[in-house]
């Protein structure tokens, strides 16, 4: 019996970047990005977040660095959440 492997891709449903008092999101993850590529990008974003939070934690008055880390962390979370949805759609449970 031959099994068919479905390559998991992003679903394109996760949004991020609240831009007003109503909490509307301005950005969305694009659909059909291979899961490996999406996770690699999320990993890179999280690596930057780690470096920024280290700098922010060592120096007072670094609110800009803290907010940058927050925004990048939100992007990485949206990617991971969308990859999870894509895996479920493809029938590959995470």
Can you give the three-state secondary structure of 17-81, one letter per residue?
Answer: EECCCCCCEEEECCCCCEHHHHHHHHHHHHHHHHHHHHHHHHCCCCHHHHHHHHHHHHHHHHHHH
What is this structure's pTM? 0.83
Tell me what pLDDT residue 4 has: 57
Query: Under DSSP, is residue 93 helix (H, G, I), strand (E, B) or coil?
Result: coil
Query: What's the pLDDT at 63?
Result: 84
CA proximity to 31, closest of 49, 52, 50, 8: 8
Q: What is the pLDDT of residue 91?
A: 85
Over 80: is that where the pLDDT of 90 sits? yes
- Residues 35-68: tens digit of each pLDDT: 999 999 999 999 999 999 998 888 777 788 888 9
pLDDT tens column, 10-29: 999 999 999 999 999 999 99
């Amino acid at each position: 019996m031959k099994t068919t492997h479905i390559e998991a891709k992003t679903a394109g449903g996760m949004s991020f970047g609240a831009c007003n008092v109503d909490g509307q999101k301005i950005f969305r993850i694009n659909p059909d990005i291979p899961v490996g590529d999406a996770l690699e990008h999320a990993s890179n974003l999280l690596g930057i977040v780690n470096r920024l939070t280290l700098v922010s934690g060592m120096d007072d008055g670094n609110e800009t660095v803290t907010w940058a880390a927050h925004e990048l962390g939100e992007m990485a979370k949206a990617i991971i959440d969308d990859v999870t949805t894509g895996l479920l759609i493809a029938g590959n449970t995470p």
